[in-house]
Structure formats: structure tokens, C-alpha cells
């Protein structure tokens, strides 16, 4: 995608006034495809739910729909943070471990201090995640080393730390304050609390990426890191912030995980990172950076979660679940790629036509 924008910019620069209109048309085309991407996931979501509902009408009962949203909310939350990172052409594989570490430490703190109010406790989870994310960001940005390796390393380090601190113990729901557990299971105006919190985080992430200068700069970094440096964007600082946010969100997800499940041991959230990356990619965030939205990523999480539930309802053996998830992920990136190729061809045609006009 980055190549495309650069190409059309060059065309605009080389020709005069008319291409500005052409550039706008091209941008509209890109925009439309972007929107179609999210629409595509929505359509897939509706189809999946509809097919399942035909087989079992109870699937679309309010309670069942609430459960669908609730089950997807933790992954969707993580997907928001991951989107910020992936958009900059990085990846954060440590989110599962950060979630586990934050969940266990927060749970332990609550268990040890029965009088602890809710908010400072949850904030502790966020801060633990923030610290982990800042460490990732610092190593990636200051050390200028690939994030895949760094976060693979911290995936082990954070998880190992988690196990070392837990020493085989687990925190049970009985040790946690009731207010916390009712936060995890309660709802407001019929919508589960966790879903509401997730929606707030999605909205904040979407607003940041869409309307804030530093948010837009994340896309610029992912499209072309070298050009971003030349354009005066503080690449290191932005990447650091993206990782820190991803960590903080994972910390929040850890605290909510604890509130939801009540029982926390050191293995909480193991292997979650790949589910999150899958959700992000299915949601149309390009793994090589520069393109994608938070809403798309969250929808991707919802789609993957819904399909899992549907398979259960349709009595398809659970063994098929993973194969279908994998096939879906491959289909999503393949379709994305084919659309991008089509788009590139269309843009090239329109710019060529424009150049002919220019000559005549």
C-alpha cells in the first residue's frame, strides 16, 4: 500500500492541476476499499451468526449474543494495542505473557490486601503492563533491534517471571473482593461491563489513530520507516509509545481477565499472542505495517471468537476449530492481497490515463 501512495504522490508532483483531482479519486478508491474491508468482516460475521441461528435459534438470544461479545472482549482489547504496534511495522508477541503477569500480580495484591479499593488495584495491572511494554519499546527503539526477536524474548522472560513469582500457587475467586468479581460478571444497561470497557478502549484507540498527529505518524512509520525519519517524525519515540500502550492495554486485559475468571495462576493467557495476531490480521491490519484500523482488528477478534462459538453450537467436533481458524486467516490475507493487487493495477491505469490527457 505504501508503494501506491508514493506512486500517486509522484504523479501529482510531476503533472499539474488535473492530477490533484485524480489523486483525490485514487484516495477515494483506497478509502472505499478500506471501508469495504471492515464491511467484509461484518458481512462474514452476520452470515456466520445467521447460519448458526437457523440451526439453533437460541444462538441469537440476547444472553447468547452477550456471551459472544464477552468472550471476544479480552482478545479484542489486546488487538487494539497490537494494532498500534503492527501499524508501525512491528509486532508484540509478549502480550500473552504480560497479561498473565499483570493478572497474577494484581490478583495477589487484591488477595493480600482485602480492603484495597477497586480502581487502584486495576490501575496496578495497567501499570505492570505499562512497565513491560515500556521495556519492549525501549529495547526495540533504542537498541534498534527487530521487535519480533525482542518480544519473543520478553515473552519468555515475563512468563518465567510470572511462574517464579507464583511458585505454583493460584489465587481463587474466594480470595478476591466481591466488587471485583461483580465487575467481571456484571453489566450495565444490559451490556456486560467488560464489553463496555473494551468499547471505550477501541473508541480511544480509533480516535488516536485517526485524529491525532502522532497517531497518523504511526502509519507513516509503518509505510516507510526511512521516509518517516526524513520527514522529521521521531520514529523511536513513536514506536516506544506504541509498545508502551500495547503493554498497558495488555495489563488492563490481565486485570479484567482476573475479574472475569476469578481463578488466576501463572499460566493465564498462555499462547494468546498468536490469537491476537490472527485477529489483527483477519481484521485487515497489514502485518507489514502502514495500514489497518483498530475497529477492524476488534471485529477480527469478534469474528474469530464467534466462529469458535458457532462450531460448538453446530456440533462440529471441536477438533475442526483450529483448522478452520487457520484456513480463515489464510483466506483473509489472500483476499486482502488480491484486492491490493487489483487496486494497484487500477491506480496504475488511472495515472497512465491521466498522463495521456496531460500530453494531449
Partner 1 sequence: MADRIRAVLRWETALVVLLVAVAVVGSVRTDGTFLSGGNLFYLGLDIAEIALIALPLTLVIAAAEIDLSVASVLGLSSALIGWLWTAGWPLETILPVVVLVGAACGALNGLLVTRLGLPSLAVTIGTMALFRGLALVVLGDTAVADFPASYTQFGTTPVPGTNLPYPILLFAVLAVVFAVLLHASSFGRAVFAVGANEEAARFSGVRVKRTKLVLFVLTGAVAALAGIVYTFRFSSARADNGTGLELAVVAAVLLGGVSIFGGRGTLGGVVAGVLLLGSLRNLLILDDVSTEVLTVVTGLLLLVSVLVPAVGRRLGRRVDNSRLGRRVDNSRLGRRAGRRAATSAAGPP
Q: Which of 49, 84, 150, 233 binds partner 1 (CB under 8 A)?
A: 150
Q: How near is the Cβ of 159 to partner 1 at its closest, in Å? A: 6
Q: By CB under 8 A, how many residues form the interface with partner 1? A: 45
3-state secondary structure of 176: coil
Residue number, 184 or 305, with CB nearest to partner 1: 305
Near partner 1 by CB under 8 A, which window of 26-34, 43-51, 136-144, 203-211?
A: 136-144
146 binds partner 1, rule: CB under 8 A: yes
Yes or no: say if 245 and 231 are a contact pair by the CB < 8 Å rule.
Answer: no
- Cα 320 from Cα 302, distance rounded (Å): 19
Cell of 145: 533491534
Neighbours of 164 (CB within 10 A): 9
Q: Which of residues 267-296 bind partner 1 (CB under 8 A)?
A: 271, 274, 277-278, 281, 287-288
Phi, then psi, of 264 in degrees rounded to 5: -130, 125
**Does residue 85 interact with partner 1 by CB under 8 A?**
no
Q: How many angstroms separate the CA atoms of 323 and 326, rounded?
A: 5
Residue carrying C-alpha cell 513469582: 165
**Binding span for partner 1 by CB under 8 A among 57-65, 144-152, 179-187, 245-253:** 144-152
Phi-psi map region of 61: left, alpha, beta (phi>0 left; psi -120 to 50 alpha): beta
Q: Minimum CB separation from partner 1 for residue 259, in Å?
A: 25
In the shown chain, the binding pattern of residues 158 to 187 toward partner 1, with x for contact by CB under 8 A and - for none, equals xxxx-xx-----------------------
Chain centroid, CA 55 distance in Å: 31
CB of 149 to partner 1, least distance (A): 5
Say if residues 99 and 260 touch (Cβ distance below 8 Å).
Answer: no
DSSP string of 39-50, one letter each residue: HHHHHHHHHHHH
Residues forming the site for partner 1 (CB under 8 A): 91, 139, 143-146, 148-150, 152-161, 163-164, 266, 271, 274, 277-278, 281, 287-288, 317, 319-327, 329-330, 333-334, 337-338
Amino acid at each position: 500500500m505504501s508503494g501506491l501512495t508514493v506512486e500517486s504522490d509522484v504523479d501529482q508532483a510531476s503533472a499539474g492541476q488535473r492530477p490533484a483531482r485524480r489523486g483525490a479519486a485514487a484516495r477515494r478508491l483506497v478509502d472505499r476499499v478500506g471501508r469495504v474491508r471492515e464491511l467484509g468482516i461484518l458481512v462474514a460475521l452476520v452470515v456466520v451468526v445467521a447460519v448458526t441461528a437457523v440451526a439453533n435459534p437460541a444462538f441469537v438470544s440476547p444472553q447468547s449474543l452477550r456471551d459472544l461479545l464477552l468472550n471476544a472482549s479480552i482478545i479484542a482489547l489486546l488487538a487494539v494495542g497490537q494494532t498500534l504496534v503492527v501499524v508501525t511495522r512491528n509486532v508484540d508477541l509478549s502480550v500473552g505473557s504480560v497479561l498473565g503477569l499483570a493478572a497474577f500480580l494484581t490478583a495477589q495484591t487484591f488477595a493480600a490486601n482485602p480492603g484495597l479499593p477497586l480502581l487502584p488495584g486495576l490501575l496496578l495491572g495497567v501499570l505492570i503492563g505499562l512497565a513491560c511494554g515500556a521495556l519492549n519499546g525501549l529495547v526495540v527503539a533504542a537498541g534498534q533491534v527487530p521487535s519480533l526477536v525482542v518480544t519473543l524474548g520478553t515473552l519468555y522472560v515475563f512468563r518465567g517471571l510470572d511462574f517464579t513469582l507464583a511458585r505454583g500457587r493460584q489465587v481463587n475467586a474466594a480470595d478476591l473482593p466481591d466488587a471485583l468479581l461483580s465487575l467481571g460478571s456484571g453489566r450495565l444497561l444490559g451490556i456486560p461491563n467488560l464489553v463496555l470497557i473494551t468499547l471505550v478502549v477501541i473508541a480511544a484507540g480509533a480516535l488516536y489513530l485517526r485524529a491525532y498527529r502522532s497517531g497518523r505518524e504511526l502509519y507513516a512509520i509503518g509505510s516507510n520507516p526511512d521516509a518517516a525519519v526524513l520527514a522529521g517524525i521521531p520514529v523511536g519515540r513513536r514506536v516506544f509509545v506504541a509498545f508502551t500502550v500495547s503493554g498497558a492495554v495488555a495489563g488492563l486485559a490481565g486485570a479484567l481477565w482476573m475479574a472475569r475468571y476469578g481463578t488466576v495462576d501463572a499460566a493465564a493467557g498462555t499462547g494468546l499472542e498468536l490469537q491476537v495476531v490472527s485477529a489483527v490480521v483477519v481484521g485487515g491490519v497489514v502485518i507489514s505495517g502502514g495500514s489497518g484500523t483498530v475497529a477492524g482488528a476488534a471485529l477480527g477478534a469478534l469474528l474469530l471468537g464467534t466462529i469458535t462459538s458457532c462450531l460448538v453450537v453446530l456440533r462440529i467436533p471441536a477438533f475442526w476449530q483450529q483448522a478452520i481458524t487457520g484456513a480463515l486467516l489464510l483466506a483473509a490475507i489472500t483476499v486482502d492481497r488480491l484486492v491490493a493487487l487489483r487496486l494497484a493495477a487500477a491506480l496504475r491505469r488511472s495515472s497512465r490515463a491521466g498522463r495521456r490527457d496531460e500530453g494531449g
